[in-house]
A and B are shown apart, each in its own frame.
Chain A
Amino acid sequence: MVLAAAATALLVGLAALAGPAPRAREVLRNAARRTSLDAPQGRALLGLHLFGVALGVPLALGLAPGTLIGLLGCLAACTLARGLLSGGEEGARRVAAAPAAWFAVLAWSVSAAVLRYGSPDLGAALGAQAVLGPGPLLGPPAAAASSTLAGIAALAAAAAWVTRLPRLHATGEAGALDEVLRWGEAALAGASAAALAWGPSLGALVHGPAPGGAVPRAAASLLLTCCAVAGTSALRRWLDALSGRAVLLAAAAGALASLGAAGAAWPGGQ
Chain B
Amino acid sequence: MTAAAYLFPAAAALGALGSGRVGPGRGLAPWALGLAAFAAAIGREPLLAPLALFAVATTAAVATAARGRGDPRSAALLALSDLALAAALTLHHESTTLWSLPVAGGWAWPAGLLAAGAAGLRLGASGRDAGGWGALGWWQGALVAWWVGGAGWPVLVAGAAWLLVLGAVRARRGRPDVGPAVAGSLVALVAAAGAGPLPLAALGLAGAAFAAGERVVAGSALGLLPVSAAALAVQRGPGEVPLGALLAVAAGLPVAWAALLHHLPPAAPAPGWRTAVVAAAAAGGSLATLAQVPGQAPWIAYGALAALLGADLLSVRAPVREVAAAPPTPPEEPSRPASVVAVAALALAGGLQVRLLVLGLGTSFL
Q: Which residues of A contact B (CB under 8 A)?
A: 1, 4-5, 31-52, 54-55, 58, 64-70, 72-74, 76-77, 79-81, 83-84, 87-88, 91, 98-101, 103-104, 107-108, 111, 115, 118-121, 170, 172, 177, 180, 256, 259-260, 263, 266, 268, 270
- Chain A, Cβ-Cβ closest to B218: A80
Complex: how many Å from CA A81 to CA B264?
11
Quick check: is B358 within 8 A (CB to CB) of the other chain? no
CB pair B258–A35 under 8 Å, yes or no, is: no
Given known pairs A54-B307, A77-B220, A270-B244, the reply for A65 and B302 (CB within 8 Å) is: no
Q: What are the interface flags for B302-328 relative to A under an 8 Å C-beta threshold, 1 for contact and 0 otherwise?
A: 111011101101111111000100000
- Chain B, Cβ-Cβ closest to A71: B227
CB pair B230–A69 under 8 Å, yes or no, is: yes
A–B Cβ pairs within 8 angstroms, 8 of them: A41-B215, A43-B317, A47-B307, A50-B310, A54-B302, A107-B257, A260-B247, A263-B243
Given known pairs A47-B307, A72-B254, the reply for A35 and B314 (CB within 8 Å) is: yes
Quick check: is B262 within 8 A (CB to CB) of the other chain? yes
Given known pairs A40-B269, A43-B317, A80-B223, the reply for A48 and B216 (CB within 8 Å) is: yes
The 8 closest A-B CB pairs, nearest first, are A107-B254, A54-B306, A55-B303, A51-B307, A100-B258, A47-B307, A50-B310, A270-B243
- List, in ascending order, chain B residues with CB within 8 A of A88's CB: 264-267
Complex: how many Å from CA A47 to CA B317?
13
- List, in ascending order, chain A residues with CB within 8 A of B270's CB: 40-41
Complex: how many Å from CA A72 to CA B230?
12
CB pair B307–A65 under 8 Å, yes or no, is: no
Partner of A65, one of B258, B296, B314: B296
- Chain A, Cβ-Cβ closest to B244: A270
CB pair B299–A83 under 8 Å, yes or no, is: no
- Chain A, Cβ-Cβ closest to B246: A120
- List, in ascending order, chain A residues with CB within 8 A of B213's CB: 40
CB pair B230–A76 under 8 Å, yes or no, is: no
Complex: how many Å from CA A134 to CA B330?
55
CB pair A98–B234 under 8 Å, yes or no, is: no
CB pair B303–A51 under 8 Å, yes or no, is: yes
What DSSP secondary structure best describes chain A's contact surface?
helix
Quick check: is B300 within 8 A (CB to CB) of the other chain? yes
Complex: how many Å from CA A266 to CA B266?
43
Q: Tell me, rounded to whole Å, the shortest Cβ–Cβ distance linking B43 to chain A.
A: 30
- Chain A, Cβ-Cβ closest to B227: A70
Extra contacts, 16 of them, besides A50-B311, A67-B227, A120-B234 (Cβ < 8 A), are A1-B298, A5-B306, A34-B316, A35-B315, A36-B315, A40-B267, A51-B306, A66-B227, A69-B250, A70-B224, A76-B257, A84-B215, A98-B262, A100-B261, A263-B247, A270-B242
Given known pairs A39-B267, A111-B250, the reply for A99 and B219 (CB within 8 Å) is: no
Quick check: is B203 within 8 A (CB to CB) of the other chain? no
Q: What are the interface flags for B262-306 relative to A under an 8 Å C-beta threshold, 1 for contact and 0 otherwise?
A: 101111111000000000000000000000001110111011101
Complex: how many Å from CA A102 to CA B193?
25
- List, in ascending order, chain B residues with CB within 8 A of A44's CB: 216, 311
Q: In chain B, residues 211-250, which have Cβ atoms closer than 8 Å to a Cβ of chain A? A: 213-216, 219-220, 223-228, 230-231, 234, 238, 242-244, 246-247, 249-250
CB pair B299–A55 under 8 Å, yes or no, is: yes
- List, in ascending order, chain B residues with CB within 8 A of A66's CB: 227, 231, 296, 299
- Chain A, Cβ-Cβ closest to B223: A76
Complex: how many Å from CA A81 to CA B146?
30
CB pair A51–B215 under 8 Å, yes or no, is: no
- List, in ascending order, chain B residues with CB within 8 A of A260's CB: 247
CB pair B310–A83 under 8 Å, yes or no, is: no
- List, in ascending order, chain B residues with CB within 8 A of A101's CB: 258, 262
CB pair A83–B247 under 8 Å, yes or no, is: no
